[in-house]
Amino acid sequence: MTTLAGDLTAIERELPDLATTHQTLITLTQGEVTSPDPSINSEPYQRILAAFTPSGPGLRAKDVCRALGIGTEPKDTEGIRAKLKRLTNRQILTETEPGLFTLT
C-alpha cells in the first residue's frame, strides 16, 4: 500500500509538466492541417484506396484483397472489410449495396 501511495504521489507531481507539454504542443501545431483520423493516412488505407478508380465499378472486400495481392481467406477479407467500413463511416467510400464499396 505504501508503494502505491508513493507511485501516486510521483505521478501527481508529473501532471503539471504534462499539462504544460500538452498546451505547448497545441500552440505549436495550431496552424497544422491534419486528418481527423491519422490512421486513414497510413499506408494500408492508402493501398486500399488506390485499388478504387473514381468512375470504376464497386469493389467487394475479396476484390480489394486480390488487388492488394493478399489472401482471400475469411481472415483476410474480414480485416479488409473492417477497413472498408471505417472508410465508409468517414464518408470516403460509399457502400452502394451490402458489401459493395465505391469511392464517394
pLDDT band at 32 (very low <50, low <70, confident <90, very high): low
CATH code of domain 38-103:
1.10.10.10
- Single out the residue of 90, 60, 62, 94 nearest to residue 75, CA to CA: 62
Q: Which residue has the higher pLDDT, 77 or 39?
A: 77
41-60 average pLDDT score:
90
Rounded-to-integer distance, Cα 20 and Cα 14, Å: 10
Burial of 47 (0-12, 13-18, 19+ CB in 10 A): middle
Domain boundaries along the sequence of the chain:
1-33, 38-103
The pLDDT value given to residue 29: 66
Place of cell 451490402: 98
Structure confidence at residue 33 (pLDDT): 47
Give 70-95 pLDDT, tens digit per residue: 999 999 999 999 999 999 999 999 99
Task: Return the C-alpha cell found at 7.
Answer: 507511485
H/E element holding 15? Answer: helix 2-28
Query: How far is Cα of residue 82 from the mean position of the Cα atoms in its chain?
Result: 11
| pLDDT score, position 10 | 83
- Calculate the average pLDDT of the chain: 85
The β-bridge partners of 103 are: 93
Task: Give the three-state DSSP class for 84.
Answer: helix
What type of residue is 20? T
